[in-house]
Amino acid sequence: MAAPATTKKSSSSGIKRKAEPSKEAHVKGTKKSKVEAESTKPEKKKSSKKEDKPEKKSKEDKPEKKSKKPKMVESNDEDSDDMDVDGGVPLNGAEEEDTPMEETNDGIHPERRQFAAGQGPNGTNSREAHAKQKATIAERKAAKPLADPLLRTKKIWERLRRKSHVPKEERKQLVEELFQIITGKVKDFVLKHDSVRVIQTAIKYSTPEQKRMIAKELKGTYRQLAESKYAKFLIGKLLIQGDDEIRDLIVPEFFGHVRKMIKHAEASWILDDVYRGVANRQQKATIIREWYGAEFSLFRDGEKVSGDLADVLEKEPGKRAPIMRELKELINHLVQKKMTGFTLLHDAMLQYYLNVKTGTEEETEFMELLKSDEESDLLKNLAFTTSGARVVCLAFAHGVAKDRKHILKAYKDTIHLMAGDPNGHKIILAAYETVDDTVLTAKSIFPELLTKDADKQAEMVVTAANDLNARTTLLYLFQGRSSSLFPASLAADIEVLNEVDVARATTSKKDPEIRRAELAKALSPLLLSAIASAAGELATTSFGCQFITEVLFASVGDKTAALEAVASVAKGDPTAVVVEADAMDVDAAAPAEDAMEVDIPFNDHSGGPSLHIANTAFGGKMLRSLIAGGRFDNKLKKIIPVSPPLNFADILYPVIEEHIIEWATGSSSFVVLSLLETENFSSKAEVLEKLKKGKKALQKAATEETAEQKAKAAEMAGAGKENGDVKAKKGKKKAAPTQKAVGNADNRSSAPKAEQPRQGNNTTTTQGQPGTTSNKTEAEKAAEDKASKEYLERMELEYEKREGGA
């Protein structure tokens, strides 16, 4: 007999399964005609709507609901028998589904109420059931190996992990007890998330010998630990706090498994940390070589290898194709998995890019790989490592205009962070040197570098100007690759830029000087505006003063406002120290609109907002350079004036006119001399006349110690008493064999060199002596008198030249 239409038979078990009642109801029995089905259907809907309304009135209507419920289409007896045998639900059993759950008036299910009252299964309530469950869990834990030692170590760890409130002696006893428990059982502890923390704490407070003991016990398991979600941190702890012996015990266990580990979600991070910060040169070479193919996983102990791909290809040129293919596939695998932050990956990418043949499909495919990341995570991560930044710089140099535009777009929100990074700023410099569309460069970089908010641009410029890396991104367009902008610590920048120069020769069409001039023109208004707004803040640091000088020399546009702002910084008495109101115990609630100038003798400050610009070496140098109107050329031994001329002398003199004698006799006396030596200064005669009237003050300044020299002498004398005779003797050894004159008379030797840095008056006192005239020999007095006369003769000579010209 065929199976009824309402059942399904499984091919695997032969058990009939009931189909959905509502769908099968019309199939069973005799079929209804279309007219009958249509007439029945609306009656069902209509009756259901009418019957629903009385249900909401009271609970007493529920039985009526059951009786008045529309009848379902019934199946024949034969089908019903089959359904009972199959265990299915009868079609007319829909009434049971609508039976409401019995609830008490407070909405609590009766079974829950019985259980809470202790009338549940076995006469238990919920509290007893939970207690029984906890007891069962505790029994299971106790049955596990190391249950008791683990419990004890956790209690010790809870006490040890507290950084304070644990006496030294108690901590020492706890560590000793902890090592008594874990010695010989370290492997059993490290693979559990809760017990591995105990071992990490033991390493933290252990002696070097105890660290080595733990490292030796774990020998042979470091690769497995690196793949563990929790134990990998134990390896990091050992490597950071351990010595070279521990390092040489751990790192070699990764050899031969680098390709597998770098793909692992957990092991990849510890491998990269080892490569970046712990491994020595040979270990790094061994790790990077494994990227070149499976055959490089085989190594011999003690064999010296090179990680440079160029050396490998030079020794085995026939294997170039498989090596490059293996390297590219592994790089592409990590990029596709979004694992782009590894230094190891960036080094491998650099090795690949340095060895691709220019103009080939290899280079094109690699460029597409760099651009393939839609979120640009790869390019952003590359910017902050040495090798990664070099890869991007080379991509700028070798790429076409479309490639460069794509790279610039990728760094849209990252330029500001890159500017202050030791590696990221190189990419900005490379963009300056390679992108021919200077309008695109200016729009992409400058708003991000200095922010689009005009109110915050001055603050951003001050911050960048005082940062060793960020300042290069602002001054490079004005200074180029000068040694003052790129000291020895930034020598790597010059190497990368030289590499870019070679590569861009065939890809860039615009002349480098024209490109740089166009970018400088676009950046100049922003920097001049910042100087006009924040000249006082910039002038408090050496980098800030250099920034002002270089921008005013090389920028394009109206510089009047910036020059006036710089001149206003020199306002006031140079001999007065600016003291904040709070420093003088003034009521803090009182409005302190301006700082208070108090005539206090100059003391040896290191420089800052409370120090007048005349008393800072970098401030005096900046003013002298601006007065001279150009840079000093060491080859030609003369000043090369800028065009158009700054005429800063005429802007500065009205500001310092009232205190010209104090300037001439103070630390920045050569600022006054620069005023007299400049050719386009209109008030030279007036200055000479005032200096003649203050001749006695000038003679006194030329022969006596300045306040700065006295402060230094007092400080050195105090240091000698505190540190004892030994340090005092060392100080005497440092003294020059020849005696130098005190005062500002000795400044004549460096006067013409406007670009040479000076410290105050460029004078020093004899070590171990107070420097007073009473302790000087006749020869010393004669030398000082001679120097003073020469200084005055130069002043008079300038005055005579002025009169003769008139």
Question: Concatenated DSSP letters for 402-443?
Answer: HHHHHHHHHTTTTHHHHHTSTTHHHHHHHHHHH-S-HHHHHH
Mean pLDDT of 406-434: 95
pLDDT in tens, 446-467: 999 998 888 899 999 999 999 9
User: What is the rounded average pLDDT for all residues in the chain?
Assistant: 78
Structural element, H or E, at residue 630: strand 630-633
Tokens of 526: 């922003």
Tokens of 70: 């529309």
Mean pLDDT of 488-499: 95
What is the predicted pLDDT for the residue at 363?
Answer: 93
Domain ranges of the chain: 356-525, 570-586+594-806
**Of 15, 144, 24, 9, nearest in space to 73 by CA:** 24
Query: Over 60: is that where the pLDDT of 748 sits?
Result: no
What is the predicted pLDDT for the residue at 557?
Answer: 93
pLDDT in tens, 209-259: 999 999 999 999 999 999 998 899 999 999 999 999 999 999 999 999 999
Give, as one character, the DSSP assignment of residue 570: T
User: Are the C-beta atoms of residues 714 and 769 closer than 8 Å to each other?
Assistant: no
Length of the chain measured in residues:
806
**Of 626, 642, 448, nearest in space to 548 by CA:** 626
User: Are the C-beta atoms of residues 444 and 412 closer than 8 Å to each other?
Assistant: yes
* Lowest-confidence region among 214-223, 425-434, 766-775: 766-775
What is the predicted pLDDT for the residue at 114?
Answer: 67
What is the predicted pLDDT for the residue at 531?
Answer: 96
Tokens of 141: 């834990």
pLDDT band at 44; cut points 50, 70, 90: very low
3-state secondary structure of 93: helix
Tokens of 428: 């900005």
What is the predicted pLDDT for the residue at 424?
Answer: 96
Measured CA to CA, the distance from residue 211 to residue 332 in angstroms comes to 39
User: Are the C-beta atoms of residues 331 and 369 closer than 8 Å to each other?
Assistant: yes
**Of 447, 373, 456, nearest in space to 410 by CA:** 373
Backbone angles phi and psi of 758, in degrees to 5: -125, 150
Mean pLDDT of 43-51: 43
Measured CA to CA, the distance from residue 322 to residue 326 in angstroms comes to 6
Give, as one character, the DSSP assignment of residue 639: E
Query: Over 80: is that where the pLDDT of 410 sits?
Result: yes
3-state secondary structure of 598: strand
Mean pLDDT of 429-434: 96
pLDDT in tens, 688-701: 988 888 888 888 87
Backbone angles phi and psi of 440, in degrees to 5: -65, -45
What is the predicted pLDDT for the residue at 772?
Answer: 39
C-alpha distance from residue 415 to each of 396, 424, 625, 698 (Å): 15, 8, 32, 52
Tokens of 461: 């410029």
Q: Partners of 638 in the beta sheet? A: 633
Give, as one character, the DSSP assignment of residue 284: H
Of 91-95, 186-190, 201-205, 492-496, which one has max mean pLDDT? 492-496
Tokens of 238: 């050992």
User: Are the C-beta atoms of residues 218 and 187 closer than 8 Å to each other?
Assistant: yes
Question: Which runs of E-coded beta strand occur in 6-90?
Answer: 7-9, 16-18
What is the predicted pLDDT for the residue at 280?
Answer: 93
- The pTM assigned to this predicted structure is 0.71
Measured CA to CA, the distance from residue 729 to residue 619 in angstroms comes to 34
Q: What does the longest C-alpha to C-alpha distance in the chain come to? A: 141
Query: Over 50: is that where the pLDDT of 110 sits?
Result: yes
Measured CA to CA, the distance from residue 48 to residue 539 in angstroms comes to 88
Tokens of 694: 């203050």
Mean pLDDT of 769-784: 51
